[in-house]
Structure 1
Amino acid sequence: MRRSIRFKLASLLAALIAFTIFITWFINHTFLADYYLNFKVARIAEVFYKVQHIYEESQEELFLSEEDTLKMERLSSSFNVNIYVLMPFAGRSLSSYPKPQDFGEREELQIQLLIRNYMSGDMSQGDKTVIGENENFVIYRLYDDHLDANYIDLVGILEGSKVVFLRSNFESIQESVALSNQFLGYIGLIAVVIGIIAMLMISRKFTKPILEMAHIAKRMSELDFDAKYHVRENDEIGVLGTSLNTLSDKLQETILELKRANNELQIDIQKKTEIDEMRKEFLSNVSHELKTPISLIQGYAEGLVENVNEDEENRNFYCEVIIDEANKMNQMVKKLLTLNELEFGSNQVNFERFDIVQLINSVLWSTEILFKQKQVTLHFDEKEPIYVWADEYLIEQVVTNYINNALNHVDGKKIIEIKLIPRDNVLRVAVFNTGNRIPDDELDKIWVKFYKVDKARTRKYGGSGIGLSIVKAIMNSHNKECGVVNHSKGVEFWFELDMT
């Protein structure tokens, strides 16, 4: 209990109330009587200056006008001060204010006697103490034992030898101060008790949401982010609760991001492993692909050196084999370099508008001799231009690879058909050849570098297994699709481009 915020708040409030009451009691006991006396002195001095101002502004020699008399009465009433102004006249003192007819004879004689005693410096009459003075007036504190009363009296001189006498009641405040302090002590004790009880009850309103948030924070530490604080008010507790909810959401989001990052890291590690495997496989494939032509070149070159066949025709055949195998290696290296540029983004894609029909006709014209040699029937009837957006040079490589691939695998009726199929704003270019179908389980593998469905046949026409990988890389660089479809009498390869 002593460690709780409620107990600390209640103790702090009790100490604060007790300290405040003690300070109030001390100030009352020490300074209140003097403050009251100084206040009365300041007030009576202010009345003197106001009376002086009224007489300076007055046009009358003896008595004040009705207007000035009214001002004096208001001044006396407002400041609770009795005002008397006497002036010398015909060898005796005459009351200027109040007027003689408003002034009782006995009262006038008493006032004149008091003034004479003050001005003569006779301090034997009653308990008199000078408490303030300047060149215009002297202020006295007087205790009248006959009336058992205290007064603050001011005696001053105005212009024209007029004498001002001001009197204000000054009751002793010491007894009042003592009574006030005693009462303050009782009230303070009651206030401390009530304050402790009230704070214990009120503080529960503040500690309850704090305990609730502490429970939520504990659940958050256990990675349970479903618990949320219900904000009831827009005060500091409400702001703290909102911040706690925000922190919970941020932590949940951060942990999810960390999990996603961890999964991505695992995927990256897996990809790195796969890349290492691919690199090893690539080196193995390249070594394998180069082994056969290098062996042939080496064998025929050694035959030439050793003059295995001395006739001119055989030597020319050896040279042709060496040149042919060297060309195959050169083509394979060029394709590998092209594929590397495409896969690593170093080959810039330059989009332009061009006629795909004209491009296909250009490739067909360059391969026309191959169609005739293999006695292949071509079906391509498009005559009207169709414009697309793409890199013309790269798309020409795609079309060339598809047509060469069809020529290398065409069989049966030996028909190659090129179709242009528009779909909304996309054009599909399809190259079909009759012949053997690709096994379904190998359809996705043919895009992989060095993969060959029929290795013997591929070797026969000099294929390297890189052409379709280049096609895939080119279409990826265009963010477009390409694919292959088996038909009953052959195989169809396709790719898509945006039409203009």
Structure 2
Amino acid sequence: MKLKPHSIRFKFFSAISLVALMFIGILLLLNLFFYQDYFMMTRKSSLCDAFDTVCGSYDGDMDDIVTLLDSYESRSAIRLAVAMDDGTVLTSSFLHDRGDHAAPDFEFGMNEQQFRSIAVLASVMQNEDWSSLAEHQYRFANISLRDNDQYLCLIGSLDKDEGRYLIAYMPFAFIEQNSSLNLVFLLIAGGCALLICLGIAFFFSREFTRPLVSMAALADRMSELDFSTQYTGKGRRESDEVEQLGQSLNRLSAYLEQAIGELKESNDQLAQEVREKERIDNMRREFIVNVSHELKTPIALIQGYAEGLTAGVADDPEDRKFYCDTIADEAGHMNRLVMQLLSLSKLELGAEQTFYEEIDLHEMCRDAVQKTAVLCESKNLSVDCADTHITVRTDSGLLEQVLMNYLSNAIRYTAEGGSIVISAVRNGGRTRLTVFNAGEGLPEDELPKIWEKFYRTDRARTREAGGTGIGLSLVRAIADTLHGDCGAENVPGGIAFWFDIPDAPPQTE
């Protein structure tokens, strides 16, 4: 784990390390400045315990005292001696193995420890006044030998009547050595403890900050509107504040994802509605332009020929008849356009009433061919409707408009001497009526556009062909009204327009 200077892991690790370092430093300072005083106090307490123990066991018998002094020194490293008020040493823990209780005269057989003990006793007897001590009272003294060897001594009254005193002492070198060893050990232990604390701090800083780092990454993703990541945690108790914070972030992420999703959906719907409104507005403007364009030419012709008749330009009866016939044709064209527009509007608004009845398709197709026979003969076209012997149940008026539109377009766009074929096929619950006309067909990208209002593949031939440009739009509106379908497709030799007639619901009494 890499610790960055300003990361929470680094701060957590630094805080724990600093506390551990301060704690160990305080221990070192306490040991350095107060340990020796504390140890001196405990040593004085040990001397007092030794004095109390000897006083409690003393009954005037010096033989028992010798054994007690020996066992006590072996246990506590405190040297003990019993002396008279005149300085005579009756017994001591370091001379009892000689077998007598005489005064400690110097002999060549003494070791250094015994020699120093005699020197300490001599210094005490020479420099201390014992007579002021009451029964079982004691006092402390610091004895320094010529080689600067120092001792802590306790002089206490053992038997005031007999003039016997107990001397208990220990060397300062032992005290100082113990203090030095303790300081060295504390330094070693403190260093080891510091390393252990650093390791623990490293571990805990990683473990305790890992959820926070994970939640910070989760918050960053949420700020980028990425809600795919969730806080998983480590199975902590529900009372753990960190775990509760992580779960709160998960809930917040879910709420934000839902809210933003709903907002996006609303925005998409609003954008779609705006686009639809713009499309409708464009269609309305285009519709007005197209209607104006379609009406402009016949109105101009009617106005021009009417003014000519008024001005007496056509004096000849044939000229007047030509003028009147032209006015009637243009008025008829305007009437057909207006009627188709009204019919289309009623169909799109759902205001057109439908009347279902049984219809013989062959008879309807034959009537349509008869109505357009003059147009077909003028272009020498052949029309075949032999494959239409099917009965359907639908609205005859609307179906007749579809058939007449298809047949009129076929006659209009079929080359002279060409052929037109009308057929019908039953397929499940639908009947498909198809009108085929020979020709070149249409480009594939224009096939979906021909159902739009006033769309023409060749605008230059519009007036010439006599179409209004809304016939196929009317067919599509009729298909929606009858819950059917319509379409066109290029086939070998020409193009075919089809219309699916669904079975109407049966008539109810």
Cross-structure match for 2:496: 492
Structure 2 CA distance for aligned equivalents of residues 253 and 369 of structure 1? 67
Q: Could you tell me how far apart the structure 1 residues matched to 2:467 and 2:214 are?
A: 74
> Post-superposition shift, 1:207?
11
**Pairwise mapping of residues 36-115 of structure 1 onto structure 2 (< 5 A)?**
none
Q: Which residue of 2 aligns with 1:407?
A: 411
Give deviations 1:135-167, integer Å, cap 9, x for gaps: xxxxxxxxxxxxxxxxxxxxxxxxxxxxxxxxx
Contact 2:385 2:421 in 1 (8 A): yes
When residues 208 and 441 of structure 1 are mapped into structure 2, their CA distance, relative to the original with a 3 A threshold, is: closer
Residue 334 of structure 1 aligns with which residue? 339
When residues 249 and 295 of structure 1 are mapped into structure 2, their CA distance, relative to the original with a 3 A threshold, is same
Aligned to 1:450: 454
CA distance in 2, matches of 1:279, 1:304: 37
SS of 1:432 mapped into structure 2 = strand
Displacement of 1:216 in angstroms is: 4.6
Q: Counterpart amino acid of 1:225?
A: F
The answer to whether structure 1 residue 473 and structure 2 residue 483 are counterparts is no
Deviation at 1:453, TM superposition (A): 2.3
1:380 aligned counterpart, secondary structure: strand
Mapping 1:30-429, distance limit 5 Å: 216=218, 219-230=221-232, 245=250, 247-343=252-348, 345-348=349-352, 350=354, 352=356, 354-355=358-359, 357=361, 358-382=363-387, 384-388=389-393, 390-429=394-433
Q: What SS does structure 1 have at the residue aligned with 2:386? A: coil
Whether the aligned pair in 2 keeps the contact of 1:229 and 1:244 (CA below 8 Å) is: yes
Q: Which runs of 4+ in 1 moved over 6 A?
A: 205-215, 236-243
Residues 260-307 of structure 1, C-alpha deviations (whole Å, 9 max, x = no match): 332333343334334333333322222222221111111110111111
Alpha-carbon distance in 2 for matches of 1:464, 1:227: 60
**Structure 2 Cα separation of the partners of residues 248 and 307 of structure 1:** 87
- 2:364 and 2:400 in contact (8 A); partners too: yes
Question: Counterpart amino acid of 1:427?
Answer: T
Asked if structure 2 preserves the Cα contact closer than 8 Å seen for 1:349 and 1:391, the reply is no
In the alignment, the residues of structure 2 paired with residue 353 and residue 299 of structure 1 have an alpha-carbon distance, to the nearest angstrom, of 47
Greater displacement, 413-422 / 362-371:
362-371
- Number of aligned residues: 302
SS in 1 for 2:456: coil
Residue identity matched to 1:253: Q
Q: CA deviation at 1:247?
A: 4.9
Structure 2: gaps (5+ residues): 1-7, 9-206, 505-509
User: Aligned equivalents of 1:360 and 1:219: distance in 2?
Assistant: 68
Question: Do the aligned residues in 2 keep the contact of 1:428 with 1:494 (CA within 8 Å)?
Answer: yes
The 3 A distance-change label for structure 1 pair 475 and 239 is: farther
Q: 1:10-55: CA deviations, max 9, x gaps?
A: xxxxxxxxxxxxxxxxxxxxxxxxxxxxxxxxxxxxxxxxxxxxxx
By relative contact order (CA 8 Å, sep 6+), the higher-ranking structure is 1
Task: Show CA shifts across 1:229-285 (max 9, x none).
Answer: 448589688999777645533432332332233233334333433433333332222
Aligned counterparts of 1:261 and 1:211: Cα–Cα separation in 2: 35
Identity %: 42
CA RMSD of aligned residues (A): 4.0
Contact 1:413 1:434 in 2 (8 A): no
Cα distance, 1:243–1:364 mapped onto 2, change above 3 Å:
farther
Amino acid at match of 2:283: M
- Give the direction of change, closer, same or farther, for the CA distance of 1:383–1:215 in structure 2 (3 Å limit): closer
Q: 1:374 and 1:236, CA in 2 relative to 1: closer, same or farther beyond 3 A?
A: farther
Distance 1:313 1:275, change over 3 A: same
Does the C-alpha gap of structure 1 residues 473 and 249 become closer, same or farther in structure 2, counting only changes over 3 Å? farther
Displacement of 1:332: 0.8
User: Aligned partners of 1:442, 1:453: CA distance in 2, in Å?
Assistant: 8
Unaligned ranges ≥5, structure 1: 2-204
Question: CA–CA distance in 1 between the matches of 2:446 and 2:278?
Answer: 23
Could you tell me which amino acid in structure 2 is paired with residue 300 of structure 1? Y
Amino acid in the other structure paired with 1:428: R
Q: 1:398 to 1:383 in 2, by over 3 A?
A: closer
SS in 2 for 1:223: coil
Query: Matched residues in 1 for 2:272 and 2:225: separation?
Result: 25
Distance 1:327 1:384, change over 3 A: closer
**1:460 equivalenced with 2:434 (yes/no):** no
Conserved? CA contact 2:382–2:419, under 8 Å? yes
C-alpha distance after superposition, 1:396-434 (max 9, x if no partner): 221121111112222244311012133343332210112
TM-score between the two structures when normalised by the length of structure 1: 0.51
Distance, in Å, in 2 between the alignment partners of 1:317 and 1:283 is 31
Q: Which amino acid aligns with 1:404?
A: S
- Residue 433 of structure 1 pairs with residue 442 of structure 2: no
